[in-house]
Structure 1
């Protein structure tokens, strides 16, 4: 829910809660004021009626009183006047008026009298109905005004916040960002903090990137020198034992160089240096990689079963697509057995690569960690599946591994939210086992 909607609902809730309370207070105040005014008027009527009777003139009922009566009393009571209010003068419980009676005790021509005047005032129900009608329209008008004004203010006051959020959403570690100007204190403090934080992140990223690039470049130079010296040394007169040592050294150097390249690649993917701008035909990438590995497949006499759908469009960087397929297929060949089998299934929703091999000794959940190697191949540097996992995270894919004897199964789901057809999957696995 948007911030402006939350504020709108909050204000409307406050209004709805406080309106009944204020209506009750308003009802009491109006009723009390009406009664006070009418009581004062009736007292005046009583005094005027008593004055006419004192003068000896005929007592006429004033026009401003409903009726006035004089009652002779033996003695005057202690109170000078009494007030009585009858909310149901007609006795039908539906009266819209209340009868208000004011009795004044005074001496007229030496005799004690009770001068009583009655009048009718609006009943509480009638006042409440008038208030409810007014409150209903007032409440509707307030809700409409709050909703409209909240949207209007949101377009102006919260516009800066939306621009800031858009800047953060599109933040790129390769360059610093500039936040919009604002005169709101809270937004100004937020932009200052975000500016400081993003600038520091860009500076730290630039420093780490420069260090890794410089380290990679400087490391390749001595590796190349050592590789050249070993080649020169291998051309001299050496015995079999020395040749074995040189071969081991050369293999270690190649492995170190491969580790260096893989770590640099992982660092670039973690820093989002492979931006995706368009879809590519992944089926073509898979066919090209398979063609490149034909020699290695023939060396181990590995049978390849292909089920490649056509026109598989994926949103992935071309370099990452090639690396993903190379690492998966290379892993299937490297950890395979002589005269083994590889089954490749490529569909719009997933890529599945199954290969024969020795049962794994490493827990499946640890195979995607860096420098974790299975027991089938000691030449592996332990970064192939880590690169695969990183590529899948960058492209919002999901990679998984399971072992179903005698097959190792690596699966990449291009649409992780889709449901996998287990029956179809078991059919493929059964067919692969029969083929093996």
Structure 2
């Protein structure tokens, strides 16, 4: 992804680039235009000097020559006038200088004259340097003034937008505090503020409705499930049933338990999404792990070994800590070979659990997605690991998975640094 640029920098950069291009183009145009004007002025001086010399000769005055500036010579025949550049040695500068030379032929008082006038041309390099320096100084000062004026003006103009943007960044569905949006005299910013207010109010209303709906459905499901379970127990206890009926009722009971578990886990996910777990305590995860391991050992569900290198104390909600450890251990038991040992290793900042596996997962990237199951043969809700990921995201823990040496490894790094 390319680096993003702030709006003020973007507009200022555009302003500077545009100004630079205009400055260069104006400098070039000014150079050629001024050079053209100076050449015209120089030629006018040459023509004017020639007219004065011609008038003096017509009046019978003697006009002396001042080489190489002015030369008046009698010639035998008249020729076309010549206007050209020439190079003449300048004894004052002791170097060759560029002159503009105008040579014209006139017949005055019955005599043919060649009148030659020369004027020194300003050197182009000096001329260009003078123009560039003056333009750089003028445009530089103008740029500095306009840049800071434009930037400060833009900051003032966009201030309501930036403040409203900060408010949007702090917007939270779980908070009922209204957004403190800033009004602006700019029509578009004012319309944006009104649309943001309308949108956030609608989102909050929809969120509250969805939250209430989820809670109501979760609550209402518990009662009919409990009633169905009680009626099934009455059927089993009050009358004799054959083997087929017993199998069917047992299957119904398992489905009821699955629905209860699914309802419970969806409720947990919803509460995490709604930031309803606000209790924060120093939790001894090492003790929770030991208790869970002993409980599962008593049920003889699997062989487990816990190696603790140091006490693992984490600041979080105690209930979520229980769910985190329980879901990881339950997942390992569910997918483990009953003859293999489940190994748990913990230290002061991490937790690793491993169980035997015949092959690696086909889609490990989807492992923490809701309702994802690698195989339909596994009787699970597909929410256990999703809850683990949601809890880790809530507290900025890092959960990861890998497959090595015929074992699945789930790791949780509790360090938030």
TM-score (norm 2): 0.79
- Tell me if the contact between 1:364 and 1:401 (Cα under 8 Å) persists in the aligned partners: no
| Deviations 1:252-282 (CA, angstroms, capped at 9, x unpaired) | 322211111212322344x45257897x645
| Deviations 1:364-404 (CA, angstroms, capped at 9, x unpaired) | 62543444557899664332122223333444444333444
Q: 1:353 deviation in Å?
A: 1.0
Q: Supply the distance in 2 between the matched residues of 1:213 and 1:165 (Cα, whole angstroms).
A: 32
Q: 1:361 deviation in Å?
A: 9.0
Alignment of 1:57-96 (within 5 A): 57-59=61-63, 67-77=69-79, 82-86=82-86, 88-90=87-89
- How has the CA–CA distance of structure 1 residues 123 and 382 changed in structure 2, closer, same or farther, with 3 Å as cutoff? closer
Alignment of 1:259 with 2:262, yes or no, is yes
- How has the CA–CA distance of structure 1 residues 23 and 258 changed in structure 2, closer, same or farther, with 3 Å as cutoff? same
Q: 1:251 deviation in Å?
A: 3.5
Q: 1:124 deviation in Å?
A: 0.8
Residue in structure 2 matched with residue 222 of structure 1 by the alignment: 224
- How has the CA–CA distance of structure 1 residues 285 and 150 changed in structure 2, closer, same or farther, with 3 Å as cutoff? farther
- Tell me if the contact between 2:368 and 2:385 (Cα under 8 Å) persists in the aligned partners: yes
Q: Supply the distance in 1 between the matched residues of 2:48 and 2:279 (Cα, whole angstroms).
A: 91
Question: SS in structure 2 opposite 1:309?
Answer: coil
Residue in structure 1 matched with residue 33 of structure 2 by the alignment: 29
Structure 2: which 5+ residue stretches go unaligned? none
- Tell me if the contact between 2:303 and 2:338 (Cα under 8 Å) persists in the aligned partners: yes
Residue in structure 2 matched with residue 55 of structure 1 by the alignment: 59
- Tell me if the contact between 1:97 and 1:122 (Cα under 8 Å) persists in the aligned partners: no
Q: Supply the distance in 1 between the matched residues of 2:239 and 2:312 (Cα, whole angstroms).
A: 57
Alignment of 1:306 with 2:307, yes or no, is yes
Residue in structure 2 matched with residue 134 of structure 1 by the alignment: 134
- How has the CA–CA distance of structure 1 residues 94 and 319 changed in structure 2, closer, same or farther, with 3 Å as cutoff? farther
Alignment of 1:357-368 (within 5 A): 359=358, 363=362, 365=364, 367-368=367-368
Q: 1:299 deviation in Å?
A: 2.4
Q: Supply the distance in 2 between the matched residues of 1:216 and 1:403 (Cα, whole angstroms).
A: 36
- How has the CA–CA distance of structure 1 residues 66 and 27 changed in structure 2, closer, same or farther, with 3 Å as cutoff? farther
| Deviations 1:75-114 (CA, angstroms, capped at 9, x unpaired) | 544x5x542222x423999969531223344442243333
Alignment of 1:8 with 2:12, yes or no, is yes
Question: SS in structure 1 opposite 2:112?
Answer: strand
- How has the CA–CA distance of structure 1 residues 311 and 385 changed in structure 2, closer, same or farther, with 3 Å as cutoff? closer
Q: Find 1:180's aligned residue among 179, 182, 205.
A: 182
- Tell me if the contact between 2:171 and 2:179 (Cα under 8 Å) persists in the aligned partners: yes
| Deviations 1:113-149 (CA, angstroms, capped at 9, x unpaired) | 3332222231111201212322343454355445534
- Tell me if the contact between 2:78 and 2:106 (Cα under 8 Å) persists in the aligned partners: yes
- How has the CA–CA distance of structure 1 residues 150 and 327 changed in structure 2, closer, same or farther, with 3 Å as cutoff? farther
- How has the CA–CA distance of structure 1 residues 263 and 145 changed in structure 2, closer, same or farther, with 3 Å as cutoff? same
Structure 1: which 5+ residue stretches go unaligned? 419-436
- How has the CA–CA distance of structure 1 residues 18 and 56 changed in structure 2, closer, same or farther, with 3 Å as cutoff? same
Q: Supply the distance in 2 between the matched residues of 1:359 and 1:306 (Cα, whole angstroms).
A: 24
Q: Supply the distance in 1 between the matched residues of 2:53 and 2:376 (Cα, whole angstroms).
A: 121
Q: Supply the distance in 2 between the matched residues of 1:409 and 1:298 (Cα, whole angstroms).
A: 24
